[in-house]
Structures are given as C-alpha cells and as structure tokens.
Amino acid sequence: MIRVVDVWKSYNGKSVLQDIAFEVKPGEFFGIIGPNGSGKSTLLKLLSAVEAADRGQIWLRGKQAEAHQRKDLAAWLAVLQQEPLPSIGFSVREVVEMGRFPYQSWLGTERGDSAPLIDGILQTLGLTELQHRTLEKLSGGEKQRVGLAKVMAQEPELLLLDEPTTFLDIGYQIQLMDTVHRWQRAEQATVVAVLHDLNLASLYCDRILLLDKGRQIGVGKPGELLREDLIYEVYGIRPIILDHPFHHLPQMLLRSAKDS
C-alpha cells in the first residue's frame, strides 16, 4: 500500500526528516511514534501527498505520490488532522456528508443514496443526537468524532490519523481507537496513525515506526520497539514495562524523578 524510499525533508534549510525508509502492507494498522519535533506530522503530510519530499520517493498503491490526481486520491485516501474541525456554521450531518465529495458529480450528486451509510456512521460514533447541531456548539472531543465520521463516510482504503485522541478523555480515546480498529478490520483497510500515547500504540498497531529528531530509530512490532533502552534513548525516561495480562503486549508505567 505504501513504500517510502530514502525520504528527506527540510524547511528553511533545517532538516526535519532524514533517510526514512519503510513499507506499510495492505490491511495493516501502522503506528508512527516519537517525541515532539521528531517529524511525525511532517511524514504524514508526505504520505498524504499534501507536500513533496526533497529527496527520495513515496509510492502509494504502486504509483508515486505526486503522480496521483487529488480527487482520484480522495476516493481512496482520507486524513484526520490533529486539530478538530473549525466552527464554520455547518451542522454535524452536513460535515459528515462532505466526506462523499469524491463520489459526487460536478452537480454535487452521486448515483446511490448515501443516507443509510451516514446514519450508520453517526450511530456508531454516538453522534445521532448531535447531527443537527452546528459545529460551534460542540466540544473539541465532539468535533474530533465528527472529523472521524467525515473520513469514514469517504470509505477510504487508506486512512491517515494525526494524533486522533488528542482532544479526547480516556473513555473516548478507547472508543475512538476501537471504532477505527473494527472499521479497519471489517473493511480490510489500511491505517497509519501518528500517536503520542505509547500504550495505545502498543495495543492497536501491528507495527510501529519510531522517530527521533527526524531520524528513523526502528520499525517493528510493539514488543520489538517498546523496550526500556530505546525509550530511554529517545524520550530520556526509564519506564517500567509490563506485559498486558489480556493482550500480552508491552504497557508502560511512568516513574517520577523521586523514584529514581
């Protein structure tokens, strides 16, 4: 689905990404982790073809990213940005319906009736009762769920998530990640998610890319990368790493300075 070959990116002469190379398989849930400023969001922009790499190549479905037409790309690739949707006066339902744009004619119509699809997505994300409310009346977490509903309405084969749980409390974090994971499995879609929470990355990602200061530290399964030595090298802390009793995946407990 995705192949990244020796990618470099700079802004105003400052290197942001250096020699990045990895592949994402179709149907994989792939995580990108690393500290602030490590280049995670920049890499997502390159993967979505919003920006081009200075050096190297990015291939999407066997074709170089910059060779895809934007509307054609939107028919199978969707991005959920880190920021919630702006308050622009549209209702929740109207925003979710915007996800159908790639399938509409120049008259704004599509062949089939998308209403049942929209209804199902609103119900899945707990937005049915909010569907006629305008965005300026929503909390940040509610806007984030509307943003996810919009990209789900797009029915993408590839979904890119930029820190999707930022504005959500722990209950909605799990609900959102569970929803994305179930949708991904049901649709056999590919998901690439930039995540700050390493425990969530461990629970939901098949494989993880670890970045630090624009460098690729490693790519592998959660158990291969979420190790005390690598966490200390990248984040400067020594967590207590335990095996999850149900999922048998690494989970981290933090220690304060007084415990060292």
Task: Name the phi and psi angles at 57, rounded to 5.
Answer: -135, 145
Domain tally, the chain: 1
- The pLDDT value recorded for residue 20 is 97
Domain membership of residue 55 as a residue range: 2-259
pLDDT-based confidence at 246, cuts 50/70/90? very high
Whether this model's pTM surpasses 0.85: yes
- Considering the chain, what percentage of its residues have pLDDT values greater than 90? 61
**What pLDDT is recorded for position 11?**
93
Write out 178-220 in H/E/C secondary structure: HHHHHHHHHHCCEEEEECCCHHHHHHHCCEEEEEECCEEEEEE
Q: Sheet holding 63-64: strands in order across? A: 63-64, 55-60, 2-11, 14-24, 215-220, 207-212, 29-33, 190-194, 158-162, 77-80
**What are 36's two structure tokens?**
């602030």
Q: 126-180: per-residue pLDDT in tens?
A: 899 999 999 888 887 888 889 889 999 988 999 999 998 877 888 888 988 998 9
Cα–Cα nearest to 35, from 236, 260, 202: 236
The CATH number for 81's domain is 3.40.50.300
pLDDT in tens, 99-134: 888 777 666 666 667 889 999 999 988 899 999 999
Helices 115-124 and 140-153 pack at an angle, to 10 degrees, of 140
d(CA 45, CA 192): 12
User: What's the confidence (pLDDT) of residue 87?
Assistant: 65
Compute the distance between CA of residue 63 and CA of residue 107 in angstroms, rounded to an integer: 30
Label residue 185 by pLDDT band (50, 70, 90). Answer: very high
Torsion sign over Cα 174, 180, 181, 183: positive
